[in-house]
Amino acid sequence: MAVLGSMGELGRYSRQGHTIVGKYAAGKSNLNRIYTYGEGAQQIARAAVKAGFPKNKTVHSVKRKTLHQHLKKELQPGCTVLVKGPNMMGMYKTAKFLKYPGQFLRLY
């Protein structure tokens, strides 16, 4: 699974950059769910679906609390999760959320 945050530093290339990430993620056959977080990341989700990734396996959240609620419901122990995004999005907080006992421990 992938948890991908908005890339605010892209400026005028924001739409293009988020689209490239979405297409790339959709092409990963071993990826079974994509979570996106933040305003710009919605374009990642849209591009992934447009590239053939199942819409029902794509979850977009604007609020971190909502993202964490989705993750807590969906993930199972032993899942491999990629958390990627800029520091300005605080993606380390999501990695930390997944790391605590009782949550999910396989982080790379």
CATH number at residue 64: 3.90.190.20
DSSP class of residue 10 equals G
Q: Which domain holds residue 57?
A: 2-99
Confidence of residue 107 (pLDDT cuts 50, 70, 90): very low
Confidence of residue 67 (pLDDT cuts 50, 70, 90): very high
Q: What mean pLDDT comes out for the span 48-55?
A: 96
pLDDT at 2: 94
Residue 70 amino acid letter: H
In a domain? residue 106? no
81: β partners: 107
Apex CA 107: angle with CA 40 and CA 11, to 5°?
20
Evaluate the CA torsion angle 87, 40, 59, 54 in order and state its sign. negative
Confidence of residue 108 (pLDDT cuts 50, 70, 90): very low
In a domain? residue 104? no
62, pLDDT greater than 50: yes
73, pLDDT greater than 70: yes
Reported as a single tens digit per residue, the pLDDT across 24-35 is 999 977 889 999
For tokens 């739409």, the residue is: 15
Total structural domains within the chain = 1
101, pLDDT greater than 80: no
